[in-house]
Amino acid sequence: MAKIISCTSLGTQSVYDIGLEKNHNFLLENGSIASNCFNKSHSTAYAYVTYQTAFLKANYPAEYMSALLTANSGDQDKVTRYLNNCEQTLDIKVEPPDINRSYVKFRPVVDPERPNRLNILFGLSAIKNVGEAAIENILKAREEGGEFTSLADLCQRVSLQAVNKRTLESLIQCGTFDNLDRNRRQLINDLDVIIPWSQSRAKEKAIGQGNLFDLLGDSKPEVGGFDAVPKSPLVSDFPSSERLQFEQELLGVYVSDHPLKNAEKAAKSHRHDFKRIIEIEKPCKDVKLVVMLTEVKVVQTKKDNKSMAILKLTDIASSKLEAVIFPEAYEKIKDLLIPNSSVILVGKVSRKKDNDELQMIVDEAIEIDYSAVHKPVDEELTPQHLVLIELPINVATDEIQSQALKTMIEEYSSNTVAVKTPVYAIVRGENGYQLVRFGKQFWVQDSNMLVDRMQARGFDIQVKQISFDRD
Residue 26 pLDDT: 54
DSSP-derived letter for residue 117 is S
7 three-state secondary structure: strand
Number of Cβ atoms within 10 Å of the Cβ of 244: 18
Number of Cβ atoms within 10 Å of the Cβ of 154: 25
Residue 16 pLDDT: 52
Residue 235 pLDDT: 82
Please report, for residues 14, 141, 193, 334, 346, the alpha-carbon distance to residue 198 in angstroms, rounded to integers and kept in the order given: 70, 15, 9, 51, 55
Residue 73 pLDDT: 86
Task: Report whether 120 contacts 67 (CB < 8 A).
Answer: no
Task: Output the tens digit of pLDDT for each of the chain's 471 residues.
Answer: 556 667 777 777 665 554 545 555 555 566 555 555 555 567 778 888 999 999 999 999 999 999 999 999 888 788 888 988 888 789 899 999 999 999 999 999 998 888 889 999 999 999 999 999 999 999 999 999 999 999 999 999 999 999 999 999 999 999 999 988 888 999 999 999 999 999 988 887 777 555 444 444 445 544 433 346 788 887 888 888 889 889 988 998 888 888 888 889 888 888 888 998 988 989 999 999 999 998 999 999 988 999 999 999 999 877 889 999 999 999 999 999 999 889 999 999 999 888 888 999 999 999 998 876 654 433 444 445 677 777 777 777 776 677 777 777 777 775 554 556 777 777 777 777 777 777 767 777 667 777 777 777 766 555 555 555 544
What does the alpha-carbon distance between residue 225 and residue 313 come to, in Å, rounded to a whole number? 51
Helix, strand, coil percentages (3-state) for the chain, rounded to 5, are 35, 20, 45
Tell me the residue type at 6: S
Tell me the residue type at 50: T
Given CA atoms 314, 315, 320, 322 in this order, what sign does their dihedral have? Answer: negative
Q: Are strands 358-366 and 320-325 parallel, antiparallel or unpaired?
A: parallel
Q: What is the pTM of this model?
A: 0.66
Residue 377 pLDDT: 39
Tell me the residue type at 116: N
Q: Within 252-286, where are the H helices?
A: 261-269
Question: Residue 200 burial by CB count (10 A; 0-12/13-18/19+): exposed, middle or buried?
Answer: exposed
Residue 306 pLDDT: 93
Q: Within 270-349, where are the H helices?
A: 327-333
